[in-house]
Structure 1
């Protein structure tokens, strides 16, 4: 690898390139693990958020996942068709869409408990490596959030 000072535009020196390739590769590795659960990676993220905090208003779910509500709507519709969740208007405020797990969606959590361990193995990470990677990525996101607030 060349030093960024030698060639600041060399592809191998770009954080964006490394993140892009890593993201595609990690999501690809999840695909095989999530197939038996009948979940795509984006659907898995939705389920993780709901397993942690259901029921949730769509706007709150979108905020947690850092997505636009309109992006989540087709994912939620597919998950609803699979029987994992329901979407209903709030009785207190018709503008608010409430997303709730079904019993089948709650039971799916038990089957998903093995996913993190399998993925650690597939990614070649031990617990320490996972914690370090998570800390680095979380720090990166916090830095981007801070920079966005300054604009």
Structure 2
């Protein structure tokens, strides 16, 4: 056997991050089923609730998603009448996304989700801030490469 040690699951940073992402998304699932949206659709809606109108590329940048991934999400949200996709007149290659009245009403229902998640996770505000800082630091390091 060579000098390299076989990677072990318990020694990897990627595995606990993968499990946490999967489990957190699973905790959101029943809350989002009440709104008839998936977790990725929820992310798109949160970006739009914050910014009202964005291009497909802007949404993709904010969510770290490429247009091939984001376009099907947007089509499904449009089919549910939560958003409208419209090509810009001055540049038809650019598609702008905006909320419908129905999409804005969905925001009222979604406002309860963060509190329900906080109750479910039972983390202190300090714990949450420390986790966010550590994750942001890691993401910054990844994005600098």
Question: Which TM-score tier does this pair reach, normalised by the shorter chain?
Answer: over 0.9
Q: How many residues align?
A: 141
Is residue 17 from structure 1 mapped to residue 33 from structure 2 by the alignment? Answer: no
Partner of 2:137: 139
Secondary structure in 2 matching 1:62: helix
From 62, 75, 88, the counterpart of 2:60: 62
Q: Distance in 1 between matches of 2:32 and 2:126?
A: 24
Structure 1: which 5+ residue stretches go unaligned? 1-6
Classify the secondary structure of the residue corresponding to 2:30: helix
Is 1:110 the counterpart of 2:88? The answer is no
Q: TM-score by structure 1 length?
A: 0.89
- Which residue in the other structure is 2:91 paired with? 93
Where in structure 2 are there 5+ consecutive unaligned residues?
none
Equivalent-residue separation in structure 2 for 1:100 and 1:92 (angstroms): 17
* CA-atom RMSD in angstroms: 1.3
**TM-score, normalised by the number of residues in structure 2:** 0.92
Displacement after TM superposition at 1:9 (Å): 2.6
Structure 1 contact 85–101 (Cα < 8 Å) conserved: yes
